[in-house]
């Protein structure tokens, strides 16, 4: 009997493909009767590298082409980094599975041959590459006088720019470096207390059409990832947090409880506030909304 074929779409960057292959491996392990095929697409966000995301339309630019491929029936599933996905998801293209979360932390990467022990502190702080306002806000709290510069491109491109001397250091998501086998480039992990992550950081998401039977994904869907993602994305959604907003959210599950820590920034007053909330995991979405409204009530 011929195996049922599922066509899976991915961005064509090295990280995106390797992340997609990790998910495909999990699907195969749980569903040996399926045939999986991978196709890659370039997205607008991958093609425009000379402008920051907030200047060209935001995070949706990393999913638009894959969304269209799903709607056209060219692919059945699309794999994304959850933190790259817009907060409002079309009912026609739901997120249907969230595998177990990877490393949630941000990491500091130095040029080849440099360590925190042998690099001059003034040089280190002179030109750190990061296009994330969330990271910029928090690194400035950690290091007085630090200067950040936007950096675009995939992981390999960014590391090449760093090693050519265009930046003194980079801040990247640890999960991505681990997934492409470049964890040896990490000079320092920032704890989630030092640098609160982006909502959904470290989580891969599987998106599909609403009419597709995705029961074969049940075995790879992780409840803890789902609870955390729900709380974090709910928090950001209420605050209308796009890619240019320095908003952060991180949730942890312990037993039947979830603790959500959120950072809200008021663009008008340049104030920011951090607070947390604890509650039942089954109320993850409501907890995110409650914390967001609380912080907005304090600083607007």
> Do 151 and 82 reside in the same domain of the chain?
no
> Do 207 and 96 reside in the same domain of the chain?
yes
Instruction: With respect to residue 195, please indicate whether it lies within any of the assigned structural domains.
Output: no
* 71: CATH: 3.40.190.10
Instruction: With respect to residue 198, please indicate whether it lies within any of the assigned structural domains.
Output: no
> Do 49 and 119 reside in the same domain of the chain?
no
Q: Which range has the worst mean pLDDT, 20-34, 49-63, 279-293?
A: 49-63
**176 phi/psi in degrees, rounded to 5:** -65, -40
Q: Tell me what the mean pLDDT of segment 165-194 comes to.
A: 97
> Do 96 and 163 reside in the same domain of the chain?
no
What domain range is 126 assigned to?
106-190
Residue 46: pLDDT band (50, 70, 90) is low
Instruction: With respect to residue 196, please indicate whether it lies within any of the assigned structural domains.
Output: no
> Do 208 and 94 reside in the same domain of the chain?
yes
Is 103 considered catalytic here?
no
Residue tagged active-site, from 46, 76, 84, 103: 84
Residue 42 has a pLDDT of 85
| Residue 230 token pair | 């729900």
Q: Where are the alpha helices (DSSP H) in 2-49?
A: 14-30, 44-47
* 252: CATH: 3.30.160.40
Number of domains within the chain: 3
For the whole prediction, is pTM greater than 0.75? yes
Q: Tell me what the mean pLDDT of segment 205-221 comes to.
A: 97
Taking each continuous run of H as one helix and of E as one strand, the counts in the chain are: 10, 13
């Amino acid at each position: 009997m011929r195996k049922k074929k599922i066509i899976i779409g991915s961005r064509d960057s090295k990280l995106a493909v390797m992340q997609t292959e990790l998910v495909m491996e999990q699907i195969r392990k749980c569903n040996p009767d399926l045939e999986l095929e991978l196709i890659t697409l370039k997205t607008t966000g991958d093609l425009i590298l000379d402008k920051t995301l907030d200047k060209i339309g935001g995070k949706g630019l990393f999913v638009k082409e894959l969304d269209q491929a799903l709607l056209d029936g060219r692919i059945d599933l699309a794999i994304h980094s959850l933190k790259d996905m817009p907060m409002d998801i079309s009912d026609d293209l739901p997120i249907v599975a969230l595998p177990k979360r990877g490393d949630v932390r941000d990491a500091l990467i130095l040029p080849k041959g440099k360590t925190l022990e042998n690099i001059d502190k003034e040089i280190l702080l002179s030109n750190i590459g990061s296009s994330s306002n969330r990271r910029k806000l928090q690194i400035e709290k950690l290091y007085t006088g630090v200067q950040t510069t936007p950096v675009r491109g995939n992981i390999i491109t960014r590391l090449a720019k760093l090693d050519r001397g265009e930046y003194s250091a980079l801040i990247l998501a640890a999960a991505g470096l681990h997934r492409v086998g470049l964890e040896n480039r990490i000079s320092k992990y920032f704890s989630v207390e030092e640098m609160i992550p982006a909502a959904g950081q470290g989580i891969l998401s599987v998106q599909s059409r609403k009419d597709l039977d995705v029961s074969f994904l049940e075995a790879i869907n992780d409840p803890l990832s789902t609870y955390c993602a729900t709380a974090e994305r709910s928090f950001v959604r209420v605050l209308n947090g796009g890619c240019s907003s320095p908003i952060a959210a991180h949730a942890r599950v312990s037993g039947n409880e979830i603790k959500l820590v959120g950072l809200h920034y008021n663009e008008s007053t340049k104030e920011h506030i951090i607070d947390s909330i604890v509650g039942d995991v089954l109320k993850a979405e409501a907890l995110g909304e409650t914390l967001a409204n609380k912080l907005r009530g304090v600083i607007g």
